[in-house]
Amino acid sequence: MISPNNLLVGPVARLPWRVQSKLLVAFLAIVALLIALGAIGIYELSAVNQRTEELIKSERKIAAYRQVQHDTTSQLYSISSALLVSDERTLDSALRQLNQFGYDLERLQFVAKDEIKLLGKVREEYDRFIAVVTRVVGLIRNGRVEEAREAQLKEARPLANRLERLTNELVNKAEADVVAGIEASGQAYHTSQTIVVAFVLGAIALALILGRTISLSLIGPIREIDTRLNEIASGDFTQRVTVGNRDELGALAANVNRTSEQLGDLYHQLEMASEHKSTFLASMSHELRTPLNAIIGYSEMLYETAQDEGQDEFLPDLAKIRDAGRHLLGLINDILDLSKIEAGKMELYLEEVDLGALVEEVRSIVEPLAAANANGLEIICPAGLGTFRTDRTKLKQSLLNLLSNAGKFTHEGRIKLEVRPADAEISFIISDTGIGMTDDQQGRLFQAFSQADASTTRQYGGTGLGLAITKRFCEMLDGNIAVASTPGQGSTFTITLPNRGRVALAATPLPEGAEHAPLVMIVDDDPNARDLLATTMRREGYRVIEATDGATALTLAHEWHPDIITLDVLMPRMDGWAVLTALKSDLELAETPIVIVTVLEDRSIAISLGAAEFLTKPVDRARLAATIRQHVYGSGVVLIVDDEPESRQIARRHLDRLGWEFAEAEDGTSALLWLSQNPRPAMILLDLLMPGMNGFAFLEETAKRVEWQNIPVVILTAMPLDAAERAILAGRTREVIAKGADDLAQVLRQILVRLPKVTELAPTT
Amino acid sequence: MAKILIVEDNEMNRDMLSRRLARRGYEITMAVDGEEGIAAAKNQTPDLILMDMSLPVVNGWEATRRLKADDGTRAIPIIGLTAHAMAGDREKVIEAGCDDYDTKPVELPRLLKKIEALLARAGERP
């Protein structure tokens, strides 16, 4: 934008004056304008004053003229009186009035000096009038009244009339002067008003223009210098400040340019040095790693050989060589990473990373580390997170760094990794209950080669580079890392990364929990209620899927076929009764047990509509758990047939936990006896190798009685089975479980879930 | 027992890897560069190849590509070995055609798991 204003800025900037002088000149210019304004004001005021004086003078003249007129009339009046009453007193008064007249005329001559011609005439007429009056008075005094009247009528009156005419003329003139004077002063007022306004506007405009011009001539260069300094701060040393100023700012700009050049040179040198350092470190790392590979590899081999040959006395020393080698390798790798990051050579490799898989991978690596210091490891990661775009290796390394640190500084405590996804960001929260840090230690935390306390390196090992690398990685991934810690209580590190390229939290909710666990669907519009139920269910080992309204519930039920549904009644749009009716009339879902959980008391409606159970809110968690357990796993009696008491005990414990009853037999014979004396059990858990009647024989016996043929049998055995044996069992049993399997509980749960519910099958129990 | 071809130019690495695998009962055959490796893969029909990716003459990347482009050798599983894990190394190695990937120095238990898994998978194939 070019305005006259801006046209001035350049020349002002180029003036080779100091800023101070420029400001002073501008100030003086404005002051001069104001002084001129003052002078004009004073001049105008004096003119007004003069005009006022003239007006007053004219008023005085008018008064004097009027007085003369009045005197004339009075004189005529007193003469007329004297003619009527010619006593001495009246005559004296007439003569005295003559004196007064004379005096007024004197005064008239004094106030109206400029009216010489007319005044001369007045004087002449007055003189004559006096002469006539004096004569008339004389005649009256001498008793010649008739003559006096004659003189009065024929001489004095015309004279008086003339006098009056003359004075009227004078009055008119003076009044004309007054009018002219008022007009003139009105005009003068307008003129002076215009002049004052013009000067004031001029002064304001001048002040604005000068102020703006000067400030622009200062601000422009300052801004430019500021921009340059910012560029310099961001590492661009190539630009120059170009300002036209020949004042202090010009000098400053020149200085900035010089400094920028010097900084640029220094920066370049530093860059070169840093690059040399990085190259050196990279090649050194490579050179160091090759012999280290050999040291680690051969020490491992020696360790294995010593182990194989029973030379156990060498093992500790060999382990030390191996561990020292690994530690050194870790250090070299960290240094290499850091030097690469600092040289800007660390590349990002963005890909779609499956969060669940990554977390599992991390868990498998961290578990032994946590166990080494007797720490518990907890990982909280919502299921079905899907993928997000990031650098898998760097994220994994960051998580491992933080988790292994947590493990290193925590003894017999807890280490926790929580993945918290949100729309825009994903947070990874790594917390421990370890030694913690002071604020001061936290401040130095992310610097390379700086463990919070130098002595910790000796005590806890580690390179002190892990956190520096982690921080750099997080920054490279456009995220950040934060720490919160209390000495003695533990630390929490939070990595926050942008949730890039990931669909927001899955539109269809995915069930959470262990893969094969029974699935509970919770239908409730109140998030708190949902949360409470879900937490209880998860704690009981179920997978949970949540629906916030009736329609979603129906969709999800079709998609996931939950093992059981808890259903709220009071929900907007579609209420629980409607959902219940819809589910029960759906062939696919009619068999799914539904537990109504509500504040209402309508148990009979619920049962008549086909609900399996009815619980009132607030729910008793234990009761809820028991109800769900009963409907998911069923209930009834399992006959455990096993000769080993320990095996029976393990089976008992698992069944007990799921709310099942059990009976025990230590061989086939006593098992058959039990069957003949008791109601039919829901399932038989059978060992194969037993003294007396073994498992195979027992199966043959049960096949002979119709009412026993269909009892589900699960084999729990330590015996290796050949193909023929497997074939026999396959026809008659549901599952063969190897004894000692760690997932016995899991397998049992699955079998029980699939078992026809005792209540439906054997009402006798 | 399965036959493993180790393609590795560093003598010590070759020595260690071959001896440790041999001790676990694998039959070992070796090559010192990519070209030899390709020849050995064709002539000796190993069950699995451990391929160092930085090799002289023909590097591991190129050797892997050629082996995977050849009908005769395509079925042989290859585990690519690189020095300290670089960003994207795993992806690049898999892209080059390797069936799995590990870093040097090898952690033998981990490498053995990968070898066993690949051999088992190859065995299942018709």
Q: What per-residue confidence (pLDDT) applies to B51?
A: 92
State mean pLDDT over B99-107.
84
Task: Report whether pLDDT(A763) > 70.
Answer: no
Whether B23 and A293 lie within 8 Å, measured CB to CB: no
Average pLDDT, chain A: 82
- Determine which of B6, B11, B12, B108 to mutate to test the interface with A (most A C-beta atoms within 10 Å): B12
Listed residue (A400, A407, A456) closest to A432, CA to CA = A407
The contacts found for B110-117 with CB under 8 angstroms, 24 or more apart, are: B111/B50, B111/B79, B112/B24, B114/B79, B115/B4, B115/B21, B115/B26, B115/B48, B115/B50, B115/B79
- Select from B19, B20, B87 the Cβ nearest to the Cβ of A347: B87
Task: Quote the crossing angle between the two packed helices A116-141 and A157-233, to the nearest 10°.
Answer: 150
Instruction: Report ipTM for this prediction.
Output: 0.81
Q: Read off the pTM.
A: 0.42
**Inter-chain touch B20–A300, beta carbons under 8 Å:** yes
Distance, in Å, from the CA atom of A242 to the CA atom of A225, rounded to the nearest integer, reads 9
What is the C-alpha to C-alpha distance for residues A186 and A176, in angstroms, rounded to an integer? 15
Helices (H), A547-644: 550-560, 576-584, 603-609, 621-633
Report whether pLDDT(A678) > 90: no
Residue type, A674: W
Closest residue by Cα to residue B15 from B83, B106, B80, B114: B106
Task: Tell me the pLDDT tens digit for each residue of A580-602.
Answer: 988 888 888 888 889 998 888 77
pLDDT at A463: 62
Segment A197-241, tens digit of pLDDT:
888 888 888 888 888 888 888 888 888 888 888 888 887 888 888
**What is the rounded distance in angstroms from the CA atom of residue A322 to the CA atom of residue A328?**
10
Using CB atoms, which residue from A293, A304, A393 is nearest to B105? A293
Q: How far apart are CA A30 and CA A9, in angstroms?
A: 18
A345 reaches B (C-beta below 8 A):
no
- Is 60 exceeded by the pLDDT of residue B86? no
Helix (H, G, I), strand (E, B) or coil at A333: helix
Burial of residue A80 (CB within 10 Å: 0-12, 13-18, 19+) is: middle
| Residues of chain B contacting residue A394, judged by C-beta atoms under 8 Å apart | 87
C-alpha to C-alpha distance for A170 and A22, rounded to whole angstroms = 64
CB contact under 8 A, B105 and A391: no
- Give the count of beta carbons closer than 10 Å to the beta carbon of residue A291: 11
Residue A144 DSSP symbol: -
Residue A144: which pLDDT band, with cuts at 50, 70 and 90? confident
Least Cα distance to A221 among A245, A203, A188, A190 occurs for: A245
Amino acid identity for residue A594 in this structure = I
For residue A481, what are the β-bridge partners?
Answer: A495
CB atoms near residue A633 (< 10 Å):
22
Q: Which residues of A touch B84 (CB under 8 A)?
A: 285, 289, 333, 336
CA distance A86 to A95: 13
pLDDT tens digits, one per residue of A71-91: 888 888 888 887 777 778 888
What is the C-alpha separation between A166 and A69, in angstroms, rounded?
A: 9
DSSP 8-class letter at A665: E
Chain B hits for A336, CB-CB cut-off 8 Å, are: 84
* Contacting residues of B for A300, CB less than 8 Å apart: 20, 108
Average pLDDT of the residues in B71-87: 80
A358 touching B (Cβ < 8 Å): no
Quick one: closest CA in B to A297, which residue?
Answer: B16
What DSSP line would sit under chain B, residue for residue? --EEEEE-S-HHHHHHHHHHHHHTT-EEEEESSHHHHHHHHHHH--SEEEEESS-SSS-HHHHHHHHHHSTTTTTS-EEEEESSPPTTHHHHHHHHT-SEEEESSP-HHHHHHHHHHHHHHHHH--
**Signed CA dihedral, B42, B45, B46, B47: sign only:** positive
Query: Structure tokens of A256?
Result: 């900035």
Chain B CB contacts of A304 under 8 Å are 20, 23
Interface membership of B112 toward A (CB under 8 Å): no
First vs last C-alpha separation in chain A: 97
**In this complex, which of B10, B83, B85 lies closest to A393 when CB atoms are compared?**
B85
Partner residue opposite A348 with nearest CB, options B83, B84, B87: B87
Mean pLDDT of A389-407: 88
Q: Tell me the range of A23-27, A34-38, B2-6 where mean pLDDT is highest.
A: B2-6
- CB-CB under 8 Å, A286 with B87: no
Structure tokens at A285: 């790392």
Q: A298–B16: do the CB atoms touch at under 8 Å?
A: yes
Interatomic CA distance for residues A354 and A550, integer angstroms: 31
SS3 state at A343:
coil
Q: What share of chain A is helix, strand, coil (3-state, %, to 5)?
A: 65, 10, 25
